[in-house]
Structure 1
C-alpha cells in the first residue's frame, strides 16, 4: 500500500511539474554518444544543428542534419580538440563560417561553409589565451558588422569577425571584466546581451561599436539559469531561460510570460546550450528548440517542437526570421580614415583596436614590445624567441621531461613522496575524482603507473611524513573524498605503495560537501592538522591523532570562512612559518594563520586581474629552502594555462610566470587548463637534480591527433623553471 501511495504521489508531482506549465515540449535525443555543453542552429539551404564535443577522446564539434525523426544523421565532425564552443556567423565577406575554440590550444578557428562540407580558413586563426565557456554573436543593425562576445573566467573578449579582400579576419576589440564566469549568453535584436551561469544572477550589457568597456547591470538575482536563448517574434524579442526540467519565458521587459515543461527524457539534466530554430522544417512547422543534455541512458543533444508552444504563451510566431537580416542603409563603423582598424564615433578621431596605434590606426604594435623576448609580427601578435611564451613573450617556456601513464577520467591533484633513504625511488601520488577510475594512483619518476588504490573520488592529495600510528612512525596520504564527503587517509609503506589504515575514513559534518584539502604539521606544538573546505569557502581544521592500537582519529578544532567567500579549493601550509595559503578561484591567493588558535582574518597576497594572476586560481604548492624563510610559492592560473611564482617570505613578491610547452623530442605535449600542482626542491636523480614540479594536464594531446580519454600529469625539472642559481639558494 505504501509503495502504491508513494507512486501516486510521485506521478502527481511529475504531472504537476510538467503538465502544470503553460506549455509542454516532449524532447527526443537527436544526437548522442558525446559530451555537449552548447548547441546552435545554422540557417542554411536546409537547417543543421551544431554541437560542441567536450569529450576528451574526440573533441571538436559536430554538425547534424535536421530530420523529423531522431536520431539525426551526422554531417561533419571536426576533431579540433575538447571544446565548449561552436557558433555560426553569417555573411562574413559573403561567406558563412562556424567559429570554434578548443580548450587544448585556445586558438579560435573559422570554418567556411561550402555546400554540405566545411573547410578551415587557416589564416584566420586567432590565439585567444584563456578558458572559454560560451560565445554570442551580435550583428550590428547600424553597420552590418559581426561581433563576437567570448565569455571566460570573469572576463569577456569582444571580437570583430569580418571579411576583407576575400579573406576572413578576426580582430580583438577589447577585453572587459564581468562579475562571474559566464556560461550562457544570448543577444536581443537591440544589442542587449544577457549572460549568467548556474547559481548566479542574470546580468546584461549593451553591445556597441566602441572600445569603451561595457557597463554590467544585474538584471535579476531570482532567475535560475542553465541555458539562454532568444526568440525573435514579430512583436518583439523573448528570453527563453532553461533550468531543471523547464524553460521559463520572459518578454523584453523581463516580465514572465509563462513556463514550458520538458518531458520525454528520463532523469533529464540540462547541461546548457539552449538554442532555437525559428523557421519551418520537416516535422517542425513552427520551429525547434535544442539543448545539451544528460539523461538516464545517454548524453548529447535533445530537440523538441515549438508547435503549440508559442500560441500557449501568446507569442506571435516568426518563421520568416533570418539571422542575415541587417541594416538597410549600412553606415561604416570601421572607416578607411582609421585604416579599417578602429572606430570613429565622432567621424574625426579614431579609437584604435588593440595592436594598432597612430592617429589613423595604421601602425601595428605589440604589448610590451614582446617583452624584448620576441618579434612583433602583427597586431598584438608576438613570435617569441626560444625559451619564451605567452601573449607578450613574458612567460618562461619549459618542457616536461615525462608524463604519467593515462589513468582515470578526471585526474586532479598530485603530491610527491620522498623516499627516506634513496631519493631516486621517490613516488608521485595523484587523485582521480570522477566515478570512473576514482582513487589514488602511484607513479614512479618516469611517470610509470605502479599502483591504483580505489577511493571515493579523492580530490586534493597531500603527504604526511613520520606520523605516529600506534607506536610506529608512518607516512600517510590524505585527501578530501567527494564521493562520500569524508577525509580519506591511506598508509604509505617504505617503498611508496599505499595500503589501508585503521580509521582511514573520517567523517565530516552532516550536509557538508567536501571540495579541497591540505595538511599542516605544527613545529610549534608537533601536532598534525588536516584542512578541508567546501564550495561555500567554509574551512574546517581537524587535529589528527592515533589511538594506542593504531586507529586514526580526528577532532574538529577550528572553523572559518576563507577569502571573500567565493569558491575555494587548493591550499598549502608552510609548516615552518605557520602560514596557510589558499586559493580562491575567482579572486586570488590568501594567507592565514595555520594554528588552530590563529586569526580567522586573512591577508590577500595576490589578486586576480592585477596584471599577473588570472582566474581560475587552482593548485598551490610550496618549495621552502632547506633552512631560513626563503623559497617559493607556486600558483596555477587555469585561465591562461600558466603558473605564477612568488617569494615564500612576506610580502611574497612576484618572481616569474612560466608555462609548459611541447617537448617534441620526448613526445610530451604542453599543458592546458592547469589544475592541481606539487613540487619539492630535493635532489631526486639526474632527471631532477634540483627537484621536481608535477602538474595536472586537462587535455592530454596525442601524437596521432586528438586528446586522450584519460588524464595525465606532467613531470618537469624544477631547475628548468627556477634556474640554477635559485636552486642553489634553496640549499638542498
Structure 2
C-alpha cells in the first residue's frame, strides 16, 4: 500500500521482571441462559461454528434486547435474552447443502449459490467471523428520508468483506436487514509481508497481491463513533500483523459502504533483555506456518477515550491511541504492548512438520533435521494471559471508570483490567482479577453491556462463546464428515461477575453506555 509512513512516538518496550507466585484458582460463575448447541463437522458444507457475539440494546424495552452471533460458514443467528433463535441469516455466497449432510441452520436441502466473486478456485465461500454493533447511523430509506438506524456489522472472512445489517425489532421477517452496499469490495486486496528472522521463507518485506483463496482476509472487528460524528470499523487481517482502519458511509438508500482510511502495522520482531541482564537480544514468536505473521483477532475501541485495544493471539494486549491526524500507514511501536502473554520472550524450538512447524517449548530429543532453536528470556513474559489471547470487551462505569474484559483462551479464563487512566499510564491498565464461567472454554469472543437488560440481567449482561459445548448423542461421522466439536453462547449477569472485582472498585453505573444513543 502506498502512502506516507509514520511511527507513533514512544519509548522501547519496557519489560518488567516479575517473580512467579502462586495464585488462587479463579472463581467460577454460572451462566443464566444459553443458546442452542451447534455441532460442527469437518469440511461439511455450511457447518455451524459459533464464534463471536454482540449484544443489541432495545431503545425502550430492555428485556427485548438481542444477542447476535456469528456461526462462520453457517452465517449469523439472532437470539433473544432467553437464548431462543429469532432469525438465521446465511452467507450470500455458500455451497450446496444436501438433505443427507450434517445439520446446519437454514433451509435444507439448499441449492448452490455462488462462490466469493474473487475466488479463482471457485471453492471459497462466505465465512462470518466477528460481529459488532453500531448505534445511530444516519441512513436514507427508500422513501428518501434519513433515519438513525442501528447496525450489526460482520466480517465475512471467506469473501474478505464487511456485511452490514440494519436492526429493526419490528420487522416481520426478522430484525436484521442486509444493507451492504452492492459496490462493497474487498477489505484486504493486498497483504503486507513481515518474515520471521528465525524461520526464513525467502520472501522479502513488503506488500504483495493477496489472492482471496489464500484467506489472508478480514477477521476481527471493532467499531467506533468518533466525536466528529464519523463512523469507523477497525478490521484485523487473518495471518497478518495488520489492523485496517475503515470509514463507514452511506452509499445510497439502504446501502452502507466502507473505505480504507489508514493501516496499523505491528512488527513481529522484539528487542528483549538477555537472561543475564547485561544486554539485549532479538526475539520473535514461533510460527507454525512460516509465511504467516502472528495474527490479531479481538478488538475493542474505548468510545470516550479514543483508544484501540487489540489482542495479538501469541503476543499479548496492545493499546493504541487514535487520531484523525495519523497518516495512511502507521508503524506501532512495541511500547504499546501493555501486557504480553506468559510465553512472550520464552525460548522455543520450531520442529519441521510437512512444510510447516510444530512449536515446542522444550528441546526435542532427538531433534529432527531442520529444527530451529530460538533463544529467549522467559522472565520477560506476562503474568496473566495464556496464549491465545482472544476476545476483548469494555464495561463503562461512571467518571471514566470501568473494566476491560479479556479472554485468555489458553487456560479458559477471563481477566478484568482497570479502564481508568487513558493510554498514558506507564505500564498500561492495571490487572484487577480473573474468573471463569461454568461450561465455557476455548472462548473466541464475548461482549458486555452495562445497561439493564430486563429482570434477569438488571445491571448488565455478558455473552460468551464456548467451544466446549456438549457433544451430540452420537459423534459418528454424518455422510462421511467427521464430528469436529460443539459450540454455543452463554449469557451471564454482570452482577455475578462484579463479585470477583476487588474491594474499592466501583461496579455500579447509572445505566449509561457511550455507544448507545438510546441513553440520555
Q: What band does the TM-score fall into relative to the shorter chain? A: 0.5 to 0.7
1:689 matched to 2:458 = yes
What is the rounded CA distance, in whole Å, between the counterparts of 2:218 and 2:435 in structure 1? Answer: 27
Q: Is the 8 A contact 1:428 1:444 kept in 2?
A: yes
1:646 matched to 2:423 = no
Q: Which residue of 2 aligns with 1:623?
A: 395
What is the rounded CA distance, in whole Å, between the counterparts of 1:514 and 1:574 in structure 2? Answer: 25
Q: Which residue of 2 aligns with 1:406?
A: 37
1:447 matched to 2:83 = yes
1:69-468 aligned at under 5 Å gives the runs 368=22, 392-407=23-38, 409-433=48-72, 435=73, 438-455=74-91, 456-468=126-138
For residues 483 and 702 of structure 1, do their structure 2 counterparts lie closer, same or farther at Cα, with a shift above 3 Å needed?
closer
Q: Which residue of 2 aligns with 1:590?
A: 318
Q: Is the 8 A contact 1:396 1:721 kept in 2?
A: no
Q: CA deviation at 1:509?
A: 3.7
Q: CA deviation at 1:508?
A: 2.0
Partner of 1:686: helix, strand, or coil? coil
Q: Which residue of 1 aligns with 2:104?
A: none
Q: Is the 8 A contact 2:75 2:88 kept in 1?
A: yes
1:532-543 aligned at under 5 Å gives the runs 532-534=235-237, 535-543=239-247
Q: Which residue of 2 aligns with 1:547?
A: 251
What is the rounded CA distance, in whole Å, between the counterparts of 2:227 and 2:403 in structure 1? Answer: 22
Deviations 1:150-177 (A, max 9, x none): xxxxxxxxxxxxxxxxxxxxxxxxxxxx
What is the rounded CA distance, in whole Å, between the counterparts of 1:655 and 1:703 in structure 2? Answer: 38
Q: Pick the structure with greater CA Rg.
A: 1
For residues 402 and 702 of structure 1, do their structure 2 counterparts lie closer, same or farther at Cα, with a shift above 3 Å needed?
farther
Q: CA deviation at 1:547?
A: 3.5
Deviations 1:389-414 (A, max 9, x none): xxx53312111111111245321100
1:648-687 aligned at under 5 Å gives the runs 648-650=419-421, 651-661=428-438, 670-687=439-456
What is the rounded CA distance, in whole Å, between the counterparts of 1:424 and 1:537 in structure 2? Answer: 40
Return the TM-score normalized by structure 2: 0.60
What is the rounded CA distance, in whole Å, between the counterparts of 1:422 and 1:500 in structure 2? Answer: 24
For this pair of structures, how many residues does the alignment match? 332
1:508 matched to 2:155 = no
Partner of 1:547: helix, strand, or coil? strand
Q: CA deviation at 1:601?
A: 2.4
Q: CA deviation at 1:519?
A: 3.3
What is the rounded CA distance, in whole Å, between the counterparts of 1:548 and 1:702 in structure 2? Answer: 45
Partner of 1:628: helix, strand, or coil? helix
For residues 502 and 714 of structure 1, do their structure 2 counterparts lie closer, same or farther at Cα, with a shift above 3 Å needed?
closer
For residue 484 of structure 1, the aligned residue among 150, 159, 162 is: 159
Q: Which residue of 2 aligns with 1:721?
A: 497
Partner of 1:711: helix, strand, or coil? strand
What is the rounded CA distance, in whole Å, between the counterparts of 1:728 and 1:497 in structure 2? Answer: 32
For residue 383 of structure 2, the aligned residue among 611, 621, 626 is: 611
Q: CA deviation at 1:612?
A: 1.2
Deviations 1:124-162 (A, max 9, x none): xxxxxxxxxxxxxxxxxxxxxxxxxxxxxxxxxxxxxxx
What is the rounded CA distance, in whole Å, between the counterparts of 1:486 and 1:576 in structure 2? Answer: 28
Partner of 1:558: helix, strand, or coil? strand
What is the rounded CA distance, in whole Å, between the counterparts of 1:615 and 1:657 in structure 2? Answer: 15
Q: Is the 8 A contact 2:50 2:465 kept in 1?
A: yes
Partner of 1:652: helix, strand, or coil? coil
Deviations 1:99-137 (A, max 9, x none): xxxxxxxxxxxxxxxxxxxxxxxxxxxxxxxxxxxxxxx
For residues 396 and 494 of structure 1, do their structure 2 counterparts lie closer, same or farther at Cα, with a shift above 3 Å needed?
same
Q: CA deviation at 1:727?
A: 6.3
Return the TM-score normalized by structure 1: 0.43
What is the rounded CA distance, in whole Å, between the counterparts of 1:674 and 1:705 in structure 2? Answer: 24
Deviations 1:352-403 (A, max 9, x none): xxxxxxxxxxxxxxx73xxxxxxxxxxxxxxxxxxxxxxx533121111111
For residues 536 and 404 of structure 1, do their structure 2 counterparts lie closer, same or farther at Cα, with a shift above 3 Å needed?
same
Q: Which residue of 1 aligns with 2:355?
A: none
Q: Is the 8 A contact 1:397 1:659 kept in 2?
A: yes
> Which one has a larger percent strand, Structure 1 or Structure 2?
1
What is the rounded CA distance, in whole Å, between the counterparts of 2:86 and 2:267 in structure 1? Answer: 38
Q: Is the 8 A contact 1:396 1:658 kept in 2?
A: yes
RMSD, matched Cα: 2.5
Higher relative contact order (Cα pairs below 8 Å, separated by 6+ residues): 2
For residue 601 of structure 1, the aligned residue among 332, 341, 361 is: 332
Deviations 1:248-293 (A, max 9, x none): xxxxxxxxxxxxxxxxxxxxxxxxxxxxxxxxxxxxxxxxxxxxxx
Q: Is the 8 A contact 1:591 1:604 kept in 2?
A: yes
Q: Is the 8 A contact 1:563 1:590 kept in 2?
A: no
Q: CA deviation at 1:624?
A: 1.3
What is the rounded CA distance, in whole Å, between the counterparts of 2:454 and 2:253 in structure 1? Answer: 38
Q: CA deviation at 1:563?
A: 6.5
What is the rounded CA distance, in whole Å, between the counterparts of 1:644 and 1:688 in structure 2? Answer: 20
Q: CA deviation at 1:575?
A: 1.2
Structure 1 unaligned residues grouped into runs of 5+: 1-366, 369-391, 662-669
Q: Is the 8 A contact 2:161 2:218 kept in 1?
A: no
Partner of 1:720: helix, strand, or coil? helix
Q: Is the 8 A contact 2:463 2:489 kept in 1?
A: yes
What is the rounded CA distance, in whole Å, between the counterparts of 1:514 and 1:629 in structure 2? Answer: 35
Deviations 1:558-595 (A, max 9, x none): 01214646211110111111000000000110011233
Partner of 1:516: helix, strand, or coil? strand
Q: CA deviation at 1:600?
A: 4.5
Q: Is the 8 A contact 2:402 2:507 kept in 1?
A: no
Q: Which residue of 2 aligns with 1:635?
A: 406
Q: Is the 8 A contact 2:471 2:486 kept in 1?
A: no
What is the rounded CA distance, in whole Å, between the counterparts of 1:519 and 1:676 in structure 2? Answer: 12
What is the rounded CA distance, in whole Å, between the counterparts of 1:686 and 1:729 in structure 2? Answer: 16
